[in-house]
């Protein structure tokens, strides 16, 4: 501490010592990164290490002492050590008594141990106040200062004051502390950074399954059927034509699946006559991933738009149009405009465009920063009213697309109906049930139930 | 409280009692939801109720007492009762003296009562410190824990300390308190959750009006005129052709209306010689909804893009192109490439693409999370410089679209000019006036005025 | 202060005086705006001015005194005066001793003076505690209350307590304080509002340079070459055809440049055997603007999509297709479908669509509000795994686009290869090196090095 630091970044270590010393046990990668950051934010830092010989990797302004000496210098001790070495803290229990121990460890697998690392630490050093924090931050992000990823630091602990002290440090480092409650939450916090989009698992798996099914379904109808019956090679349909059948089908089905659980919940509430019974677990989980389902549906819809818009530039389509025109010219025949066709073609395109437009609006309002800026009524209006309008438009788009050939026997190949017919089943069910639920004889009791009224109030929980 | 809670969520009720008891008057839906959430966040909760018999719906760890007893146990009392029952608090005035009363009520209509509920509460219990809060949060959001919608809680009150205490609770529940000042702000806070996109009202109504006007205008020119004069049925133009005339026209007019008030303000400031006079009210309101006007314009522009890109897949367009080609072939005639036409067609498309591209950039920077990350100079640069460039490109796109037929008499039907000509009026006015204002003889005094200089400083306010 | 304010906005000046008086030196534009806002937030405000005659522009509830008198009334003094007049504070040094002086000044140029204004102020009044703040907020934004742009207020200072007091005021005004450390950071904070997208400079300049180069390259190949050799006028290619060659080329090159520094860093780390040596400066800077490079690449890719989708509506393209069809009809010739061509055309379009789709996903996750809501592992997954998949798809798209004519001599004009060939150089290098680095014999030591292992631990720093 004898030299004034000449870093580009402003250090406050040489200012009036208002901030309390922080001790870090362990001189590993994360311990060092955290030490650097703490010193930059004005905290005096003491490292506790087996070898007190100062490594050149440690911050210059930090002291390095033995574990026992370092612990005595600070009220807060950050345990930057892996769980399997926690045992060595047992002999220090007396010195650590009353201190705030910050467990920052992570595991390699979800639920690797029966108890969380933080609870394990609390068992080894029973007299200390254990707080779980910092495990969601990466050493690299701390070092580079570019916190592109999350600034959120989940904090939990049984002692309110200790938690407050740690949250102050988190804030001083430019991060956002989020109080998650008592140490019971540590397990969840330790699992958090190991998760890979947990809410997206079901929507993505579902859409992968449906994609596979519809891919083979389309393959049979559009490639194998013409090959077997007419010996024509349409294998290149795999690149664009088949994806452009799968994408709209999945977009429509997934969008309908966003609104199906709400409809089911309304039926269950009407049947039970109360809103205070819990829904079955599968329905609860389904309702919680509706946003993700909707966004996956939007992704498929966007792909459908791109695939459709690219159609006129496809070599196959150009060939087909030009050969039709040539054969017309050679047969000396000019076709008159078919007004019905023009109407059907234009209205199914218009319905699709409007449906997609509203769908994108829904997607934009689900961005965190946008949904934070609307009130509850506005959010409900967009997600419910506009959402159903989107579903109606997209279903109508598909119905009009079928047009004159809808349900006509010629559109069956090997008894298999066209994919768009399959896609209409779920949305039509949702819309019909929703339409029934809007009738006053059902809507009135449902509204009352949702405001807390009960048909049979002496229910047991 | 004798059993350790076995919930999935971490409860802190059994930890050291650092948090102060909170009392809730009323066991309705919102009172219960708030009680649950408070207990989960470590607050001991006491319910005040007429019947002290504990309902199974109330959180297990909460006590239920009479109003008077419950009030004595806590410094903060949340009034989860509807306004019409506030009178029953009058007899409790003595017990409530000096307590913090949190008014969380909402009304059914905007400005339903002459005074806000919170001020009414303060009149009934004059000795208490009334704080308005939590009215923007929904019971459902509190219960489910999925705060998809706003986390913002507006707080107001005359007593600083009471307000601080309530804001601490808000923060502890994982919500974001926003101090709105004294209890005078309660009216506005109570109206807030009843509002449905207030800033969007004018832009949406304006665009609906313009859409209706241009729809009938186009209907007359494109459907009724050919039907009357040539007996041709172009009714299917309603689906795509007419919307694709309305959308670009509205996009351009609304975009110009975003920049018109700035130009008017500059003229008014130059004329008055000071920036300290208030603008007329209509101009103030117009300036405050410029962002919304711009986003509605962007929505119309996006629809125009979709409608335009879908053109080649339309059945009518395919028929027209193919019959033109067939008739060329039958007449044994090959046309040479018209370079002027190719230039006009390509440059109007290119101008449109660039204009739309910049427009989307403007839209992205108006996302709250993006605009929070730029400094003032950058925000001005994007919204002003890029915005005018967008307007110039879009106006040029429309001018070149007119091309050779611009103002030619053959494009009038029943003396009605083409819609794109009407759309050019406002943007051309804005661009011409802006161009004049850029001249140094006007720009220099304007800059001085905006920096606080006054031509005639002895003005009275 | 004798009249209750009847403003629309809730004032708290007449409530219990919990907030401490704030003094403002200077009655200029920003001083007045800040004064208004402070009074609205419940702070008593005293202006220090040369003329104590109260101007009608100052807030009605504020006092106006001489500098010395005003300073004595408050612990915090906001210096709303330009740097060149700081000298007049020297005689007041005694009164200002121990006070918190808030420097809010800005300069006109980056690094205008050798030391920051705040440090200069600290030299003139050595006994005061100088804090830098508010310089990033505009007077207009404070006045209008519509803080569309940044709410972030950078704060720095050597005295922790003084800084804390200023940060509390910032928070009370509804702004977000960000502690930047000691007064050494003032220079950077003063430069911040003068910056215009500093991180975007390199990506934008680079893409401008490349755009210019490829524009002239394409001009020679596509306009000058046919004019010289065949005397054909294709000058209208400048509007769409040439931009649609430049955009994909730049998108691909810039996307590859996003991943090149990571690959270079891996090679350097493997060679050095440690991660603790600093990278060369140019590599550090390059790595910090990867996000911006990627977003510029996404912008070019989006333009490419728009230019491509508009192709069928171009007058030139319609003429070419129709004249080809007419000549086919006149020659009485019907072409059979070329399956290889159909495959090549469809698969290059499909690869492009999928690549662009993933690219847009990457762009969405780089929005601040989205990246704040993912954990570190999820962010890495999206930016690294999905990013490389995007690069692979886009490179494959370009390779298949070349198709049968790839590297064929007929595609050279004046020995110049087609632009898409040039664009493949960088991405192919990146992908090959990345492929090599994935082999276990290189991946294993690299992973160890990144976890902190060193081949040669006795390195000197």
Residue B310, classified by CB atoms within 10 Å of its CB into exposed (0-12), middle (13-18) or buried (19+), is buried
Q: Looking at this predicted complex, what is its ipTM?
A: 0.82
**Cβ contact C28–B452 (<8 Å):** yes
Supply the pLDDT for residue B149: 52
Q: Give the whole-number percent of chain C exceeding pLDDT 90.
A: 31
Interface test with C, best of A56, A149, A178 (most C CBs within 10 A): A149
Q: How far apart are CA A108 and CA A98, in angstroms?
A: 30
Min Cα–Cα distance to chain A from C305, Å: 9
- CA dist C417 and C411 (Å) reads 7
CB contact under 8 A, B371 and C149: yes
Decide if C329 touches B, using CB distance below 8 A: yes
Q: How does residue C5 score in pLDDT terms, banded at 50, 70 and 90?
A: very low
pLDDT per residue as tens digits for the range B124-163? 998 899 999 988 887 766 766 554 556 778 888 888 788 8
CB-closest option in A151, A309, A325 to C325: A325
For the four alpha carbons of B25, B29, B33 and B34, in that order, the dihedral sign comes to: negative
Q: In what helix (H) or strand (E) does residue C395 lie, and over which residues does it extend?
A: helix C387-402
Q: Which of A101, A446, A431, A99 is nearest to A265 (CA)?
A: A446
Determine the Cα–Cα distance for residues B190 and B260; give it in Å rounded to an integer.
Answer: 34
Alpha carbon distance C303, B238 (integer Å): 30
* 8 Å CB contact of B239 and A347: yes
Q: How many residues does chain C have?
A: 461
The torsion of the CA quartet A39, A44, A50, A52, rounded to 10 degrees, works out to: 100
Check if A278 contacts B (Cβ < 8 Å). Answer: no
Tell me how close the Cα of C291 comes to any Cα of chain A, in angstroms: 9
Digit-coded pLDDT (tens) for A260-292: 999 999 999 888 887 777 788 888 888 888 889
Average pLDDT of chain A? 84
Taking an 8 Å cut-off on Cβ atoms, the answer to whether A15 and C344 are in contact is: no
List the single best residue of B301, B337, B357 to mutate versus C (max C Cβ within 10 A): B337
Compute φ and ψ for B180, nearest 5 degrees.
-110, 10
CB-based contact A368 C370, cutoff 8 Å: yes
CA separation (Å) from A454 to A436, A447, B55, B90, B340?
A: 22, 11, 13, 31, 75
Full set of structural domains in chain C with CATH:
22-194 (3.40.50.720), 200-451 (no CATH)
From chain A, the residues in CB contact with B10 under 8 A are 156, 180-185, 188
Mean pLDDT (chain B, rounded)? 84
Instruction: From chain C, pick out residues whose CB is under 8 angstroms from the CB of B360.
Output: 302
For A28, the closest chain C residue by CA position comes to C452
Give the closest-approach CA distance of A388 to chain C in angstroms. Answer: 25
Is the separation of the CB atoms in B32 and B59 below 8 Å? Answer: yes
Greater pLDDT, C97 or A175 = C97
CA distance A359 to A387: 7
C152–chain A Cβ distance below 8 A for any pair = no
State which residue of chain A sits closest to B27, comparing Cα positions. Answer: A452
* Six token digits for residue B352: 């449109």
Helix H or strand E segment including A184: none
- If you ran DSSP here, which 8-state letter would residue C406 be given? T
Beta strands A63-65 and C152-157: pairing type?
unpaired
pLDDT for residue B220 is more than 50: yes
CB atoms within 10 A of CB C352: 24
- C158/A16 CB distance under 8 A: yes
Overall size of chain A counted in residues = 461
pLDDT for the residue B150? 61
Chain A residues with CB inside 8 Å of C327's CB?
Answer: none
Pairwise CA distance, residues A423 & A398, whole Å: 9
Contacts of C328 in chain A (CB under 8 A): 322, 326
Q: Is there a contact between A357 and B172 if contact means CB atoms under 8 Å apart?
A: no
Task: Give pLDDT, residue C435.
Answer: 93
A115 in contact with B, Cβ within 8 Å: no
pTM of the predicted structure, to 2 decimals: 0.84
Average pLDDT of the residues of chain C: 84
How far apart are the CA of B461 and the nearest CA of chain C, in angstroms? 7
Residue C69, number of CB atoms within 10 A of its CB:
15
Q: What is the DSSP string of B98-117?
A: T-EEEE----SSTT-SSS-H
Tokens (6 digits) for B99: 């307590």
| Residue among B336, B312, B308, B318 at smallest CA distance from A322 | B318
**β-bridge pairing B152-157 and B129-132:** antiparallel
- Residue C44 and residue C64: Cα distance in Å, rounded? 12
The reply to whether residue B10 touches residue A338, judged by beta carbons under 8 angstroms, is no
pLDDT in tens, C195-237: 777 788 889 999 999 999 999 999 999 999 999 998 888 889 9
**How far is it, in rounded angstroms, from Cα B272 to Cα B282?**
18
* HSE-up (13 A, CA, CB side) for residue B179: 27
Report pLDDT for B460: 39
Convert the pLDDT of each residue in C320-377 to its tens digit.
Answer: 888 888 888 888 777 788 888 888 889 999 999 999 999 999 999 888 778 777 777 7
**CB atoms C182 and A313 under 8 Å:** no
C349 touches chain A (CB under 8 A): yes
Encode B301-332 in three state secondary structure. Answer: HHHHHHHHHHHHHCHHHHHHHHHHHHHHHHCC
- What does the pLDDT look like over A130-152, one tens digit per residue? 999 988 887 766 766 554 556 77
Contact with chain B for residue C332, Cβ under 8 A = no
Contact B325 C327 (CB under 8 A): no
- Among C5, C10, C215, the residue to mutate for chain B (most B Cβ within 10 A): C10
State the smallest CA–CA distance between residue A218 and chain B in angstroms. Answer: 22
Min Cα distance A189 → chain C (Å) is 11
Q: Is A193 within 8 Å of C377 when comparing Cβ atoms?
A: yes
Chain centroid to Cα C264, Å, comes to 23
pLDDT, tens only, A363-382? 998 887 787 777 777 888 88
Q: In sequence order, what DSSP letters do the residues of B256-280 get, joined into one string?
A: HHHHHHHHHHHHHHHHHT-S-SPPP
Locate tokens 């449109």: which residue?
A: B352
Return the sign of the alpha-carbon dihedral for residues A26, A31, A37, A38.
negative
C319 touches B: beta carbon within 8 Å:
yes
Angstrom distance (rounded) from CA A124 to CA B366: 52
Chain C, nearest residue to A194 by Cα: C377
> C41 to chain A nearest CA, in Å?
22
Q: How many CB atoms lie within 10 A of CB B282?
A: 9
Burial class (CB in 10 A: 0-12, 13-18, 19+), C77: buried
Nearest residue on chain C to A328, alpha-carbon basis: C329
Q: Give every CB contact of residue C184 below 8 A, 6+ residues apart in sequence.
A: A10, A11, C156
For chain C, helix (H) and strand (E) counts, in that order, are: 20, 8
Local structure of B159: helix, strand or coil: coil
**CB environment A398-420: b (16+ within 10 A), e (fewer):** bbbbbeeeeeeeeeeeeeeebbb
Report angle CA A127, A129, A131 to the nearest 5 degrees: 145
Q: What are the distances in angstroms from CA C38 to CA B431, C9, C12, C61, C137?
A: 39, 13, 10, 11, 14
| Cβ neighbours of residue B119 closer than 8 Å, sequence gap 6 or more | B130, B183, B186, B187
Query: In chain B, what are the helix, strand and coil shares in percent, each to the nearest 5?
Result: 60, 10, 30
Q: At what angle do helices A243-272 and A387-402 cross, to 10 degrees?
A: 130
C160 touches chain A (CB under 8 A): yes
pLDDT tens profile B332-355: 777 788 888 889 889 999 999 999
> Which pLDDT does position A321 carry in this prediction?
87
């Amino acid at each position: 501490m004898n030299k004034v630091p000449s870093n580009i970044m402003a250090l406050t270590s040489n200012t009036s010592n208002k901030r309390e010393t922080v001790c870090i046990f362990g001189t590993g990668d994360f311990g060092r990164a955290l030490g650097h950051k703490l010193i930059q934010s004005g905290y005096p830092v003491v490292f506790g290490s087996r070898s007190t010989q100062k490594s050149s990797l440690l911050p210059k302004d930090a002291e390095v002492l033995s574990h026992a000496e370092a612990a005595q210098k600070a009220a807060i001790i950050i345990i930057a050590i892996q769980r399997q070495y926690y045992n060595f803290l047992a002999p220090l229990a007396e010195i650590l008594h009353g201190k705030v121990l910050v467990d920052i460890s992570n595991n390699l697998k979800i639920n690797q141990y029966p108890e969380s690392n933080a609870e394990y630490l609390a068992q080894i050093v029973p007299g200390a106040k254990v707080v779980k924090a910092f495990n969601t931050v990466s050493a690299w992000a701390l070092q580079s200062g570019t916190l592109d990823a999350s600034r959120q630091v989940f904090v939990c602990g049984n002692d309110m004051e200790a938690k407050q002290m740690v949250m102050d440090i988190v804030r001083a480092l430019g991060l956002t502390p989020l109080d998650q409650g008592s140490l019971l939450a540590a397990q969840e916090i330790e699992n958090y950074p190991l998760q890979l989009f947990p809410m997206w698992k079901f929507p993505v798996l579902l859409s992968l399954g449906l994609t596979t099914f519809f891919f083979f379904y389309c393959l049979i109808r559009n490639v194998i059927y013409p090959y077997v019956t007419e010996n024509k090679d349409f294998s290149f349909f795999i690149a664009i034509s088949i994806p452009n059948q799968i994408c709209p089908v999945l977009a429509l089905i997934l969008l309908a699946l966003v609104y199906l659980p709400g409809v089911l919940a309304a039926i269950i509430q009407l049947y039970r006559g109360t809103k205070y019974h819990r829904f079955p677990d599968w329905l609860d989980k389904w309702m919680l991933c509706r946003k993700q389902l909707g966004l996956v549906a939007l992704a498929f819809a966007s792909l459908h738009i791109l695939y459709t818009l690219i159609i006129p530039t496809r070599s196959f389509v150009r060939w087909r149009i030009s050969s039709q025109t040539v054969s017309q010219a050679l047969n000396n025949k000019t076709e008159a405009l078919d007004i019905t066709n023009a109407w059907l073609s234009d209205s199914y395109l218009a319905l699709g465009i409007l449906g997609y437009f509203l769908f994108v609006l829904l997607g934009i309002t689900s961005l965190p920063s946008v949904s934070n800026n609307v009130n509850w009524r506005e959010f409900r209006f967009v997600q419910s009213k506009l959402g159903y309008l989107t579903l109606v438009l997209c279903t109508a788009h598909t119905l009009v697309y079928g047009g004159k050939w809808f349900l006509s026997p010629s559109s069956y190949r090997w008894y298999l109906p066209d994919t768009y017919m399959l896609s209409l089943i779920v949305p039509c069910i949702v819309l019909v049930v929703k339409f029934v639920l809007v009738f006053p004889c059902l809507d009135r009791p449902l509204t009352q139930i949702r405001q807390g009224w009960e048909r049979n109030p002496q229910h047991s929980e």
